[in-house]
Amino acid sequence: MRIFVDANILISVINKEMPHYDACARVLSLKNFPTIELFSSALSFGITAYFSEKKHGEKETRKRMELLMQNIKICNCGQNEVQQALENKKIGDLEDGVQYYSAKNSSCDYIVTYNQKDFYFSQLPVLLPDEMLGKCLHLIKKQKK
């Protein structure tokens, strides 16, 4: 299973933002299961670094971002994804469109975010962290049988 992790999930973890931190950290821990791969875009990493630097400064942010890089694969997020987002007339917010096409073009099965409404145009399932955790737990239990 390939899961795209939206920037707001990464920000919640890197800045330990309550009340979302616990669920978001558990989503990132899913990378410990061999059948689950976590992805995000370079755009998400940039957004996350921006908010982290405001709270932790540049040096600490670099350390935190390096830890994220060890756990999350980076999706393509370039000219193709921007062009697709621009061409899709259903998309109002370009950033959300670029994130969506980064996930879709990387064959992600799900998008996990706290802003489900931002992905109203998505053809991929868009889940809250707790919903994603429940789905993964169900699949992991099923695989063990």
At the fourth CATH level, which superfamily is domain 2-144? 5'-nuclease (3.40.50.1010)
**Residue 84 pLDDT:** 97
Distance CA 85, CA 7 (A): 17
Give residue limits of the domains in the chain. Answer: 2-144
pTM equals: 0.92
**Residue 141 pLDDT:** 67
Distance CA 107, CA 139 (A): 18
**Residue 83 pLDDT:** 97
If phi over 0 gives left and psi between -120 and 50 gives alpha, with beta otherwise, what is residue 39? beta
**Residue 86 pLDDT:** 97
**Residue 145 pLDDT:** 57
pLDDT along the chain (145 residues), means of 10: 96 93 94 92 95 94 92 92 96 95 97 95 96 84 63
Q: Residue 107 corresponds to which tokens in the numbers above?
A: 């064959």
Q: Is 2 helix (H, G, I), strand (E, B) or coil?
A: strand
Name the helix (H) or strand (E) containing 110: strand 110-112
